[in-house]
Amino acid sequence: MDLIEISKIVIGLFVLLFILQNYYRFRERKNFKIIFGAFFLLFLGWIFDYLDYLYYSVLNIIQHTLLAIGFIIMAIWFWKEFHQGGKNEHNRND
C-alpha cells in the first residue's frame, strides 16, 4: 500500500509541476484557480494519506476532509464551467 501511496504522490507532484510550468497559459482560463485549488487539496490529501501512519486517528480524518473539500471545490468548478459559461478570461482584452 505504501508503494501505491508514494507513487500517487510522485505522479501528483509531476502534475503539480506541469501546472506550475504552464501556469501562465492555464491562468487565461476563467475559474482556473478553483480547479487548481481542488487539485492542490487532493494532492495534500494524498500526502496525508501517506503520513497518516504517524498519528492515524487525526491525520486520517484530515486526509479525508481535504479530499472531500477538494471534491466540493471541483463540483463548484464544474457548475461555473458548465452553467455560468466563460471558458476563458480573454473577453476583457477584446
Partner 1 sequence: MNIIGMIDSIALLASILAVIFVYTGKWRKSNVIVRLFPIILVFINIFDTISNFMNLSTIWESLSPLSEAFQLILPIIWFFFLYTLLQERTTQKIKEEEERYLKAYNRAEFYKDLFVHDINNILQNIHSSTELSKIYVKSKDNQEKIEELFIIIDGQVKRGLKLISNIRGLSEIEKNEVNVKIINMKPILEQAIQYIRNSYQKRNIEIMVNYHNHSREFFVQANELLLEVFENIMINSVKHNDKEDIKIRIDVKKTKNKGNKWVKLEFSDNGIGIPDEKKGRIFQKRPFRREYSSGMGLGLSLVKEILQLFNSKISVHDRVKGDFSEGSTFIIEIPSFDKISD
Q: Which residues of this protein are in contact with partner 1, per CB under 8 A?
A: 1, 4-5, 7-8, 11-12, 14-15, 18-19, 22, 25-26, 28-29, 32, 35, 39, 42-43, 46, 60-61, 64-65, 67-68, 70-72, 74-75, 78-79, 81-83, 85, 87-88, 90
Q: What is the spatial distance between Cα 24 and Cα 14, in angstroms, rounded to a whole number?
A: 17
- To partner 1, the closest distance from the beta carbon of 57 in angstroms equals 10
3-state SS, 29-84, equals CCCHHHHHHHHHHHHHHHHHHHHCCCCHHHHHHHHHHHHHHHHHHHHHHHHHHHHC
Minimum CB separation of residue 51 from partner 1 in Å reads 16
> Shortest Cβ distance from residue 81 to partner 1 (Å)?
8
Backbone conformation region of residue 6, classed left if phi is above 0, alpha if psi is from -120 to 50, else beta: alpha
User: Residue 53 or 65: which CB sits closer to partner 1?
Assistant: 65
